[in-house]
Structure 1
């Protein structure tokens, strides 16, 4: 077994364990999305997210203060941390709205384009080099998204643009998170993620508050707990296996979404959505492959 200077493992046993944990991660996030869709039929998106951030920020702040005290709040990129925190809270709000109005599988099919958008944004924001093969994959993935959305056709649903906007916000958030890693450690970044989101939702949430019964409160608190558990498992998986191996497994969210959508809402994606999603996923996996190849030779 080998470890790098941050304690992350880099061996076959660790990789297998990390892959196994990623199955649990995608399961947890798919359950969180399903419960969010249920809650969004009754409660406003800002209220759901406010309670979710109460759970997330409360745990991360308590853990951070226990580990490092008030020094955890010291950031060398304060504005950058605030910006990425606000972006994430906006992205989650957008996705809650999308989950309320669209089938789970349709939302995840469009969200599958996230890695492609992230790769494209890394060029102007991070000054990373992206070769012709990855640009081609991005273009092919864009075709897949267009097949799902079908602009100009009778089946076009403008609501499908909502998750596309959301995943674009998330891609920008990811790129800015990479940039923040140049200045602050992971603990500080996680802390600002929770605190900034909680601040944003505290400013907005009270204007959309609907007093929940105990079942509604338990549902929204459960969303927060499951989300926090999923992120904890993801951190553990990344400590065991390389990110380039684990990232493509995020596409497991799509079959999970199809399963929950069918079992709970009797929804199945149509043929165009299946074809478009397959193109997007294939393009994303190829992009991950090329990124790994490029990094191995540099």
Structure 2
């Protein structure tokens, strides 16, 4: 029980850290090419992944021995591309509006788990997915800034993240979490370097602390996320991941000066409610098996 409580507390802290990271990303993405910012972030992430793997059982050799090297590499490339798209969306739409749309990602995981993984999805969860997309339409209604061509970015990002999550579930049957973490950092760093190196430019001295904050929040967030999953079951932690929306909204409104219209709040509430219902139904189905 103590481990469960600690895991939940850590998940809430992780949500705050990732919200801060998004705000820092928005700041840097407005000053430098997003692909360049992501490249520097991933260099640090890859270094951290190598250190973690070297300290794990079997060292780097064990981390390199994946049963699915192609799928693991594809996972890393999809995730880093999703990070770039989200960073652009943060700059163009703001972090609150971006997350309001991106919140459909867990529902996309449910929708795609049937055709991709062959899982059985009952009509109640399909209904919840439909309700979630209605919530997204509420967010995207005309009259709010997110209703623009840039709104496609967080939606595409949500789809890419859903694919990444499904691939992660696929490789998890044979690869450990440490192996997947190592390949995510390595493949992502290599992929983003091939694209980002062409956009490299000097960083102003005043922006280095922001860049350091971006790298450190990323590493701290991922490390604590691993710890949370070590202490508590993933099913019990999932609902608390939604607390990131609260932190993002607070930071966006009070620190970044973003406006949040009532339809965005209403849409987010609908999407989160649908997501929590699909999580509950998944738990119910698992207990019946």
Between Structure 1 and Structure 2, how many residues are aligned? 285
Query: Match for 2:53 among 56, 64, 68?
Result: 64
Question: Residue 178 of structure 2 is aligned with which of 179, 183, 187?
Answer: 187
Q: Quick one: distance in 1 between partners of 2:143 and 2:50?
A: 49
Contact 2:253-2:260 within 8 A present in 1 as well: no
* CA distance in structure 2 between the aligned counterparts of 1:41 and 1:116, rounded to whole angstroms: 30
Distance in 1 of aligned mates of 2:60 and 2:103: 38
Q: Which runs of 4 or more aligned residues in structure 1 lie more than 6 Å from their structure 2 counterparts after TM superposition?
A: none
Pair 270,17 (structure 1): closer, same or farther in 2 beyond 3 Å? same
Is the partner of 1:265 in helix, strand or coil?
Answer: coil
Instruction: Find 1:280's aligned residue among 257, 271, 274.
Output: 271
Mapping 1:230-245, distance limit 5 Å: 230-245=221-236
Contact conserved, 1:149 with 1:161, CA < 8 A, in 2? Answer: no
Q: Quick one: structure 1 residues 59 and 290, their matched pair in 2 at CA, closer, same or farther if it must change by over 3 Å?
A: same
2:26–2:94 CA contact under 8 A, matched in 1: no
Structure 2 counterpart of 1:6: none
Deviation at 1:65, TM superposition (A): 2.4
- Distance, in Å, in 2 between the alignment partners of 1:215 and 1:78 is 40
Deviations 1:40-74 (A, max 9, x none): 11011111111111111101112312432323211
Question: Mind listing any 5+ residue stretches in structure 1 that lack a counterpart?
Answer: 1-11
Q: CA separation in 1, counterparts of 2:24 and 2:127?
A: 37
Counterpart Cα distance in 1 of 2:257 and 2:52: 41
Match of 1:38 among 22, 27, 37: 27
CA distance in structure 1 between the partners assigned to 2:35 and 2:46 by the alignment: 16
1:61-99 per-position Cα deviation (integer Å, ceiling 9, x unaligned): 123124323232111111111111110011000000000
Equivalent residue for 2:162? 171
Question: Equivalences for 1:20-35 in 2 at 5 Å?
Answer: 20-35=9-24
RMSD of aligned Cα (Å): 1.3
Contact 2:35 2:192 in 1 (8 A): yes
Task: Verify: 1:138 aligned to 2:138, yes or no.
Answer: no
- Among 59, 62, 85, the alignment partner of 2:76 is 85
Asked if 2 retains the 8 angstrom alpha-carbon contact of 1:258 and 1:268, the reply is no
- What TM-score does the superposition give when structure 2 sets the normalisation length? 0.95
Provide, for residues 233-287 of structure 1, a one-character-per-residue CA deviation record: whole Å limited to 9, x for no partner. Answer: 1111111122111111111111111111112222231011111111001000101
Moved more, 85-94 or 215-224: 215-224
CA deviation after TM superposition for structure 1 residue 22, in Å: 1.3
Aligned to 2:254: 263
Residues 193-228 of structure 1, C-alpha deviations (whole Å, 9 max, x = no match): 000011011101111112102232331232111111
TM-score norm. by structure 1 comes to: 0.92
CA distance, structure 2, for counterparts of residue 144 and residue 188 of structure 1: 36
Partner of 1:9 in structure 2? none
Where does the alignment leave 5 or more consecutive residues of structure 2 unmatched?
none
